Amino acid sequence: MSQIYDKTAQALAASLKMRSLRHNITASNIANAETPGFKAKKLDFENALARAVDLDGLRGMTTSNPEHFVVGGGSVGEVRADIYDNPDGATTNDGNTVDLEAEMATLQENSILYKAALQLMNKKLGSLKYAASDGGR
């Protein structure tokens, strides 16, 4: 991402990307609620995003040699979500693990958080547009 975007804008962009992915996975779970043997998937990216943002630098570690592994905070653009079979789902007689009510609640929560992140990103870009237009003059 360009240097004009700060860490907040990068975190919001990563959040929007991951929330879109979570929406697709949750929608897939809902669509397969009646499919025998279907294992519900879960996506977890909040911890990875928190590590990547690490605004206070409290979780970050530094390396003294370029050949050392990078640990702790990373680039926000490199945040990857963990997708795995949902261990919280109860298995029905046909082997399906989708809890339709929980999936609908997850979809609604994700939708609200996506819209909030989108509004914040719009405000951030609006302030850049205002500054670029010389304060409206």
- What confidence score (pLDDT) does residue 96 get? 93
Handedness of CA 89, 92, 98, 104 (dihedral sign): negative
- What confidence score (pLDDT) does residue 98 get? 93
- What confidence score (pLDDT) does residue 36 get? 95
31-59, pLDDT tens digit by residue? 999 999 999 999 887 776 776 666 445 55
- What confidence score (pLDDT) does residue 9 get? 84
Q: What is the average per-residue pLDDT within 93-101? A: 92
Percent of the chain with pLDDT over 90: 39
Q: Identify the residue with better confidence: 86 or 6.
A: 86
- Per the prediction, the chain carries an average pLDDT of 81
- What confidence score (pLDDT) does residue 46 get? 76
- What confidence score (pLDDT) does residue 89 get? 77
Handedness of CA 17, 22, 23, 24 (dihedral sign): positive
- Distances in Å between the Cα of 126 and the Cα atoms of 9, 42, 82, 112, 120 are 12, 34, 32, 21, 10
- Highest mean pLDDT among 3-17, 35-49, 95-109 belongs to 95-109
Percent of the chain with pLDDT over 70: 72
